[in-house]
Amino acid sequence: MDHYNTLMKNYGPPAFNAVQGKGLYLYDEAGRAYLDFSSGIAVTSLGHSHPRWVAAVQAQAAELTHCSNLFGIPGQQLLADRLVTQAGPGRVLFCNSGAESNDALIKLARLHGQYLTGAEGKRYTVVAAQNAFHGRTFGGMGATPQEKIQGGFRPMLEGFKFGQLNDIESFDKIIDESVAAVFLESIQGEGGVFPAEPGFLQELRALCTERSVLLMLDEVQCGIGRSGHFFAFEKSGVRPDAIGMAKGLGGGFPIGAIWVAEAYAELFQPGSHGTTFGGSPLASAAANAVLDVIEEEALIEKVAANSPAWHDALNALADKYPNQIDCVRGAGYMVGLALKPQGHNLKVTAAAREKQLLIVPAGHNVIRLLPALIATPEQLNQSVTILDEVLATLATAI
Ligand SMILES: Cc1ncc(COP(=O)(O)O)c(C=O)c1O
């Protein structure tokens, strides 16, 4: 029997079975080691099986795995305190994934609109960006104006409008009295690694404040150190009203979270939102271990220090292969190479895998490089060397 006959087909056939991970390396069943610059799509922030993380998860599993939010969870409280230290005065609510974080933010926007108007259903529009990706739930899909995400599932949840990332006028025009919140990825990930420019975020912040509209930032992919800051928006100096997190926060254990600024943190009241698993003792222990290691090993400082030379080397590749690389975008350890001709990102991804480098394709013909925050300058260089070999081989086929 075909081993994959019983799995639904939405992920397509896998290139290999992954059975082990250690640091920056992922191993297949034959013991072949791959330099992993996919990190489970920006999740394994400490690399695979970091000893500190493994010990914390094992110890917590032996102590208490799950008890629900009917009871207090000290590790969850500690994690909330730590996220508030990073994000600013406010409160945190835990869930299990990026899409769930974003759904919670969309619900927050509706509560805000209700608060402003004194009535339900009068002001609830969320303005998101063209080319965004916010997840596959009906809330997340509604904020993701892409045919490949929405197609087949209509009607969508209503109440979304879209501006053009980095074009403040396009937002200015549509933020009217029906709008409760603006919702953006600080760096668009799935859409092809497009950072929101600092000046744009600053102007958007001012616009949102002036019109009593929440500024909510999706840091699910770019957050928790990946950009060389704890949150990618920090570069702009802007403070959002709410933040969505997931992926790298758990380092491989599923957890999501929203942070909401003090002024809006009481919009959610007892009973108004919740989830069985959110912030369980085990998930909280995993995330606390991620934050411990980020601090103890100064990982964010290292990402910031190591990435300029890596970006330079990738830009040099762009100069060397102008027929294949259009440009290099991103921040820290979240980098996209926009390729040509059309469809080349899939070819390069497959050819890199043959040379034991794992990368991730993204929208707009982009390959994404998303190494764990522990990646060393040598490992970053190795990614460039392998890509150089791949592009040299493919050059003759163009
Ligand atoms: C920016 C962003 N938001 C939300 C999501 C959805 O997260 P999840 O797959 O954990 O539901 C993703 C996933 O890629 C993402 O990149």
Q: How much is the average pLDDT of 81-85?
A: 98
Q: What is the pLDDT, as a whole number, of residue 396?
A: 84
Name the pairing type of β-strands 125-129 and 214-218.
unpaired
Per-residue burial over 50-80, b if 16 or more Cβ lie within 10 Å, else e, is beebeebbeebeeeeeeeebeeebebbeebb
pLDDT single digits (tens) 223-250? 999 999 999 999 999 999 999 999 999 9
Q: What ligand 1 atom has the least distance to the C-alpha of 99?
A: 11
Q: How much is the average pLDDT of 295-314?
A: 98
Which of 105, 133, 249 most suits a substitution to test ligand 1, by most atoms within 8 Å of the C-beta?
Answer: 133
What is the edge-to-edge ordering of all strands in the sheet holding 334-339?
A: 325-331, 334-339, 366-369, 360-362
Q: How far apart are CA 101 and CA 258, in angstroms?
A: 6
Q: How far apart are CA 336 and CA 326, in angstroms?
A: 11
Rg of the chain over all Cα atoms, to the nearest angstrom: 21
Q: How far apart are CA 153 and CA 341, in angstroms?
A: 31
Domain 52-296 CATH (choose: 3.40.640.10, 3.40.630.30, 3.80.10.10, 3.40.50.300):
3.40.640.10
Atom 9 of ligand 1 has which residue's CA nearest to it? Answer: 98
SS3 assignment, position 215: strand
Report residue 5's pLDDT band, with 50, 70 and 90 as the boundaries: confident
What is the CA(101)–ligand 1 centre distance, in A? 9
Beta bridge partners of 331: 334
What is the CA(45)–ligand 1 centre distance, in A? 15
Report residue 397's pLDDT band, with 50, 70 and 90 as the boundaries: confident
Q: What is the pLDDT, as a whole number, of residue 1?
A: 43
Give yes or no for residue 3 having a pLDDT over 80.
Answer: no
CB 219 within 8 A of CB 242: no
Return the biggest CA–CA distance within the chain: 65
pLDDT single digits (tens) 112-130? 999 999 999 999 999 999 9
What is the CA(323)–ligand 1 centre distance, in A? 31
Report residue 398's pLDDT band, with 50, 70 and 90 as the boundaries: confident
Spell out which residues line ligand 1, taking CB within 6 angstroms: 41, 97-99, 102, 133-135, 185, 189-190, 218, 220-221, 246
pLDDT single digits (tens) 160-217? 999 999 999 999 999 999 999 999 999 999 999 999 999 999 999 999 999 999 999 9
pLDDT single digits (tens) 43-75? 999 999 999 999 999 999 999 999 999 999 999
Give yes or no for residue 4 having a pLDDT over 80.
Answer: no
Give yes or no for residue 221 having a pLDDT over 60.
Answer: yes
Atom 16 of ligand 1 has which residue's CA nearest to it? Answer: 221
Q: How far apart are CA 242 and CA 257, in angstroms?
A: 10
What is the CA(360)–ligand 1 centre distance, in A? 14
CATH number belonging to domain 9-50+298-395: 3.90.1150.10
Q: What ligand 1 atom has the least distance to the C-alpha of 41?
A: 14
What is the CA(359)–ligand 1 centre distance, in A? 17
Q: What is the pLDDT, as a whole number, of residue 201?
A: 98
SS3 assignment, position 336: strand
- What does the DSSP assignment read for 329-380? EEETTEEEEEESSTTHHHHHHHHHHHTTEE-EEETTTEEEE---TT--HHHH
End-to-end CA distance of the chain: 39
Q: What is the pLDDT, as a whole number, of residue 268?
A: 98
Q: What ligand 1 atom has the least distance to the C-alpha of 244?
A: 3
pTM value is 0.98
Q: What is the pLDDT, as a whole number, of residue 281?
A: 98
Give yes or no for residue 345 having a pLDDT over 60.
Answer: yes
Q: What ligand 1 atom has the least distance to the C-alpha of 218?
A: 1
User: Among residues 295, 373, 303, 255, which one has the least CA distance to residue 85?
Assistant: 295
Structural domain boundaries of the chain? 9-50+298-395, 52-296
Q: What is the mean pLDDT of the chain?
A: 97
Structure tokens at 85: 């230290």
Which of 43, 45, 134 most suits a substitution to test ligand 1, by most atoms within 8 Å of the C-beta?
Answer: 134
Q: How far apart are CA 244 and CA 211, in angstroms?
A: 22
Q: Identify the helix (H) or strand (E) that includes residue 258.
A: strand 256-261
